[in-house]
Amino acid sequence: MTNETSLTGRIAVVTGAASGFGEATAVRLAADGAKVALLARRKARLDAVVATITAAGGTALPIAVDIRDAAAVTTAASQVANELGAADLVVNNAGVMLGHAVDDGRTDEWQQMIDTNIAGVLNVLHAFTRPLLDAAAGGHSADLVNVSSVGAHTFFPDYAVYSATKAFVTALSGSLRTEFGPRGVRVTNIEPGLGETELGQGLDGTHGEQLTQMWDAIGPLQARDIADLVAYVASRPRHVNLRQVIVLPTAQA
């Protein structure tokens, strides 16, 4: 006998589901019985993931949306409600990581990270707060899973603004628990370490190379490892909230 609840009947939303952690999480939640809305900008990539889910017998809805656009995220939330039902499991995962020394003055990159990792995360929170609270008020499991980073606590040169945006997500998650927890919505903050995804694709040659060297040296997390964790936290009994999970490759200090 296991101490878990089924994900069958849950309505999940995963942002950043076109690749990496989000893609693997969407596939896993659907395999575990949830109906899943996949949000990201690249429609063709979303369609490919949805085809994989559907071929395996799951239910999935692709929604091409830029989370930096608050109105578009609100429209996406309405589409989820109309086509799948009221969301009760929201994985606020989409993010970007860009790296340069502060004195390179790449304010364009700073803005992109602020707009995506901070404002975008808030847009998703805003759009899905009501269905999460309603699900909990109706006696159902309700989960908000935010994907931060161990970078919120562990600092590297050239990633100051990225780390700061992730510290925002960690602080937001902790604060949200004080508002949502008493109303039955679990808030989980996941802080992954080094993971092998497309996250480094926006880096320049030098930083991209450093990242792949770290992968070779450490043996990074795979996207399915994070998917596994999200499925685990969402399938605990309603009164159990894994508040914060730091998940690292075993060899990462």
Ligand X SMILES: NC(=O)c1ccc[n+]([C@@H]2O[C@H](COP(=O)([O-])OP(=O)(O)OC[C@H]3O[C@@H](n4cnc5c(N)ncnc54)[C@H](OP(=O)(O)O)[C@@H]3O)[C@@H](O)[C@H]2O)c1
For tokens 């499925």, the residue is 231
Taking residues 29 to 68 in sequence order and writing x for each that binds ligand X by CB under 6 A, - otherwise, the string is -----------xxx--x--------------------xxx
From residue 31, give the alpha-carbon distance in Å to each of 9, 18, 28. Answer: 12, 17, 5
Phi, psi (deg, nearest 5) at residue 95: -165, 165
Choosing from 162, 173, 190, 233, the catalytic residue is 162
Give the count of beta carbons closer than 10 Å to the beta carbon of residue 171.
13
Instruction: Return the bridge partners of 247, or none.
Output: 192
16 near ligand X, rule: CB under 6 A: yes
For tokens 């600092």, the residue is 155
| Of 54 and 212, CB closest to ligand X | 212
**Annotation says 159 is catalytic:** no
Of residues 123, 163, 189, 197, which one binds ligand X by CB under 6 A? 197
**Closest C-alpha to 94, from 38, 132, 133:** 38
95 near ligand X, rule: CB under 6 A: yes
Q: How far is the CB of 2 from ligand X (least distance, A)?
A: 28
| Of 85 and 202, CB closest to ligand X | 202
Listed in sequence order, the DSSP H helices in the chain are 20-31, 43-55, 70-83, 107-113, 121-137, 160-180, 205-218, 223-234
Q: How far is the CB of 5 from ligand X (least distance, A)?
A: 25
Taking residues 137 to 176 in sequence order and writing x for each that binds ligand X by CB under 6 A, - otherwise, the string is ----------x-x---------------------------
Two tokens, residue 87: 């969301």
Q: Which residues contact 175 (CB under 8 A, 6 or more apart)?
A: none
| Of 116 and 235, CB closest to ligand X | 116
94 near ligand X, rule: CB under 6 A: yes
Using CB under 6 A as the criterion, which residues of the chain lie in contact with ligand X when the complex forms? 15-16, 18-22, 40-42, 45, 66-68, 93-97, 116, 120, 147, 149, 192, 194-195, 197-199
Q: Which residues are catalytic?
A: 162
